[in-house]
């Protein structure tokens, strides 16, 4: 029976390497094992492989460095990374470098099978896309030959033919953009699954805190009369190194702080799950812009706190809902907020966020005004172009605003920008008002 594909497995632990290789072969693939990065690169230089499965933490050369050099040798190679540490930062870095999945040890055979199948599907998809591009290129060359041959006798329709060629080139460019967006979307799906898993793991111990803190508080209230009587009879005594006379006033505040912190964790976990949730094709929801803004601010609370000491938030009162999708609306707000706080040079710079209604144009809006560096008029014309970014060195993909613009079009709205270099930028997500009863 022919193998499903050829897999290179890399791990510095002999038993893990042997077990993982056996699991890959058990799933119907041909597997070769390597105990370190240099050995794996030697294999790649001599043999073609479909997939690379590599451990992250290895001596001499870690898994991320191996991925980078491996893809340089075999550009079509797909990569899966594994690790015994649940480190979200490493997972995100691996995804940015092109990994199709991040698997935590001990490895589930089912998860391994799904990841390998996805990798083979991506390889097949990329091959099919490449073949389609070649066929399109051949078709274009053939048409151009026909145009050249018949120019003399078809001069009166030459202008229309030029327009057709231009349209075809635009379609090819859009097809290439869609291909890249599909690859980016696949990475985000994997990241979304990882985020949902991390949120679940956080929620379990937080539930323990939420349930037990009130019990401890009630226990303290039951103990308090006994301790107070002891205090009256024998004088002050230490509790956790602090005099009882002081501690009795602070303990209720400590319990309140624990419960408030637990509730904040719960809200963050809820919004993480909501943001990572799949099935966002429903565009017939009533979306409250204030609620969507609050959810986005919860997710970005930490970077916003680090970016500015002057965050102002103004919620419009009595705003009607907009027709669309909550998760997509939240994604637009998050992208605009990220661009705004990343532009701030100092925590002294101000950032103002507001929602409102423009009665003159019958529109609703989310407006984000920053005191960042601003955008030049040249770049302002291109900020919605796919893959255009001024933050390439900082990891920017140039897709955030392009995707956001597409989402706003789905809602019948638009993005607006007003910027002055050195003074800051005002970004607006503008939504049409929904007529009562309209579907």
Q: 109 lies in a domain?
A: yes
Are residue 228 and residue 309 in the same domain, yes or no? no
pLDDT of residue 278: 45
pLDDT value, residue 386: 63
Residue 256 belongs to some domain of the structure: yes
Q: Are 323 and 409 in contact (CB under 8 A)?
A: no
**pLDDT for the residue numbered 272:** 61
For residue 404, pLDDT over 50 is answered with: yes
User: 325 and 398 share a domain?
Assistant: yes
Q: Give Cβ neighbours of residue 234 (< 8 Å, ≥ 6 apart).
A: none
Choose the weakest-confidence range: 26-30, 96-100, 263-267: 263-267
Confidence of residue 250 (pLDDT cuts 50, 70, 90): confident
Residue 374 lies in a domain: yes
Task: Confirm if 362 and 412 have CB atoms less than 8 A apart.
Answer: no
**Sign of the four-CA dihedral 191, 194, 200, 201:** negative
Give the whole-angstrom CA distance, residue 22 versus residue 413. 54
Same domain, 302 and 205: no
Question: Cβ atoms within 10 A of the Cβ of 120, count?
Answer: 17
Tell me, what's the pLDDT at 104?
82
Which H/E stretch holds residue 13? none
| Non-local CB neighbours of 133 within 8 Å, separated by 6+ positions | 172, 175, 176
233 & 325 share domain: no
Mean pLDDT of 38-58: 90
Q: Are residues 255 and 344 in the same domain?
A: no
More confident residue, 143 or 165: 165
Residue 320 lies in a domain: yes
Query: Where is pLDDT greater, at 188 or 162?
Result: 162
User: Exposed (0-12), middle (13-18) or buried (19+): which is 157, by Cβ within 10 Å?
Assistant: exposed
pLDDT at 7: 92
pLDDT at 277 over 60: no
Q: Which of 102, 117, 132 is the last residue of a domain?
A: 117
Q: Are 5 and 50 a contacting pair, CB within 8 Å?
A: yes
Angle at 209 between CA 203 and CA 214, to 5 degrees: 140
Contact call for residues 254 and 247 (beta carbons, < 8 A): no
Q: Which of 61, 84, 117 is the last residue of a domain?
A: 117
- Please tell me whether residues 18 and 55 are part of one structural domain: yes
Q: What is the pLDDT of residue 394?
A: 46
**pLDDT score of 75 more than 60:** yes
- Is the domain of 296 the same as that of 241? no
- DSSP tag of 84: S
Residue pair 117/29 in contact (Cβ under 8 Å)? The answer is no
Write the CATH number for 311: 3.30.565.10
* Placement of tokens 């026909």 in the chain: 146
Residue 149: exposure state from Cβ atoms within 10 A (0-12, 13-18, ≥19): exposed
Per-residue pLDDT, averaged over 156-168, amounts to: 84
> Contact, 250 vs 291, CB < 8 A?
no
Distance CA 83, CA 81 (A): 7
pLDDT of residue 348: 94
Same domain, 369 and 335: yes
Q: Say how many domains are in the chain.
A: 3
Mean pLDDT of 14-40: 91
The answer, yes or no, to whether residue 8 has pLDDT greater than 90, is yes
Residues 50 and 83 in one domain: yes
Q: What is the CATH number for 85?
A: 3.40.50.2300
| Residue burial 315-325, b: 16+ Cβ < 10 Å; e: rest | ebeebebbbbb
- Tell me, yes or no, whether 341 lies in a domain: yes
Give dist(CA 366, CA 391) in Å, integer.
24
pLDDT band at 73 (very low <50, low <70, confident <90, very high): very high
Q: What's the whole-number mean pLDDT along residues 194-200?
A: 64
Residue 249 has a pLDDT of 83
The C-alpha atoms of residue 180 and residue 402 are separated, in whole angstroms, by 13
Euclidean distance between CA atoms 352 and 427, whole angstroms: 11
DSSP 201: H
Q: What are the beta bridge partners of residue 428?
A: 367, 416
Give CA–CA dist 335/330, Å, rounded.
Answer: 9
Same-domain status, 309 and 427: yes
**% pLDDT > 90, the chain:** 28
Return the higher-pLDDT residue of 294 and 107. 294
Rounded Cα distance between 328 and 335, Å, is 11
Phi first, then psi, for residue 340 (nearest 5°) are -70, -55
Predicted pLDDT of residue 399: 61
Query: Could you give phi then psi for residue 103, rounded to 5 degrees?
Result: -115, 130
Domain that holds residue 23: 6-117
The pLDDT mean for the chain works out to: 83
For β-strands 101-104 and 78-83, DSSP reports them as parallel
Domain end residue (candidates: 79, 96, 117): 117
Nearest Cα to 100, choosing from 75, 83, 84, 77? 77
Residue 154 has pLDDT above 80, yes or no: no
DSSP 21-71: HHHHHHTT-EEEEESSHHHHHHHHHHS--SEEEEESS-SSS-HHHHHHHHH
**10, part of any domain:** yes
Q: List pLDDT tens digits, range 344-398.
A: 999 999 999 999 999 999 999 999 999 998 888 888 777 777 655 655 444 444 5
pLDDT digits (tens, 9 = 90+) for 123-133: 888 888 888 88
Assess whether pLDDT exceeds 60 at residue 187: no
Instruction: Give the pLDDT band (50/70/90) at residue 18.
Output: very high
Question: Which of the four pLDDT bands, split at 50, 70 and 90, describes residue 197?
Answer: low
Q: For 329-339, how does the pLDDT look when each residue is reduced to its tens digit (9 = 90+)?
A: 998 999 899 98
24-33, 52-61, 187-196 — which is least confidently predicted?
187-196
Domain co-membership, 270 together with 298: no
Task: With a cut of 80, say whether residue 11 has pLDDT above it.
Answer: yes
Within a domain: residue 49? yes
Residue 191 placed within a domain: no
> Is residue 87 pLDDT above 90, yes or no?
no
> Is residue 153's pLDDT more than 80?
no
- Tell whether 292 and 268 lie within a shared domain: no
Is the bond preceding residue 229 a cis peptide, omega within 30 degrees? Answer: no
């Amino acid at each position: 029976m022919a193998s499903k594909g050829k897999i290179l497995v890399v791990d510095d632990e002999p038993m893990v390497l042997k077990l993982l290789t056996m699991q890959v072969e058990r799933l119907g693939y041909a597997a070769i094992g390597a105990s370190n990065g240099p050995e794996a690169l030697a294999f790649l230089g001599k043999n073609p492989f479909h997939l690379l499965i590599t451990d992250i933490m290895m001596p001499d050369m870690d898994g991320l460095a191996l991925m980078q050099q491996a893809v340089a040798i075999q550009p079509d190679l797909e990569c899966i990374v594994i690790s015994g540490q649940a480190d979200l930062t490493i997972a995100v870095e691996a995804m940015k470098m092109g990994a199709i999945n991040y698997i935590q040890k001990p490895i589930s055979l089912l998860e391994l099978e799904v990841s390998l199948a996805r990798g083979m599907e991506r390889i097949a998809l990329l091959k099919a896309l490449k073949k389609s591009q070649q066929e399109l290129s051949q078709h274009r060359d053939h048409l151009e030959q026909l145009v050249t041959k018949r120019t003399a006798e078809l001069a009166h329709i030459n202008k229309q033919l030029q327009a057709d060629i231009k349209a075809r080139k635009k379609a090819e460019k859009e097809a290439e953009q869609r291909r890249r967006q599909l690859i980016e979307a696949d990475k985000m799906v994997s990241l979304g699954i990882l985020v949902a898993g991390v949120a679940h793991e956080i929620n379990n111990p937080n539930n323990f805190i939420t349930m037990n803190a009130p019990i401890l508080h009630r226990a303290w209230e039951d103990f308090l009369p006994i301790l107070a009587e002891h205090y009256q009879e024998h004088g002050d005594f230490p509790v956790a190194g602090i005099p009882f006379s002081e501690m009795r006033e602070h303990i209720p505040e400590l319990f309140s702080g624990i419960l408030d912190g637990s509730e904040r964790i719960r809200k963050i976990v809820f919004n993480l799950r909501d943001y990572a949730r799949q099935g966002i094709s429903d565009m017939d929801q009533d979306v409250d812009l204030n609620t969507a803004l609050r959810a986005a601010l919860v997710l970005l609370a930490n970077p916003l706190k680090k970016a500015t000491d002057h965050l102002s938030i103004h919620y419009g009162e009595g705003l009607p809902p907009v027709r669309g999708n909550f998760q997509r609306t939240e994604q637009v707000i998050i992208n605009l907020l990220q661009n705004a706080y990343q532009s701030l040079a100092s925590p002294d710079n101000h950032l103002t966020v507001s929602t409102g209604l423009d009665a003159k144009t019958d529109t609703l809006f989310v407006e984000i005004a920053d005191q960042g560096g601003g955008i030049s008029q040249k770049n302002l014309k291109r900020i919605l172009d796919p893959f255009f970014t001024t933050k390439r060195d900082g990891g920017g993909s140039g897709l955030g605003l392009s995707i956001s613009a597409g989402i706003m079009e789905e809602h019948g709205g638009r993005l607006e920008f007003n910027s002055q270099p050195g003074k800051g930028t005002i970004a607006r997500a503008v939504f049409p008002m929904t007529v009562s009863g309209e579907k």
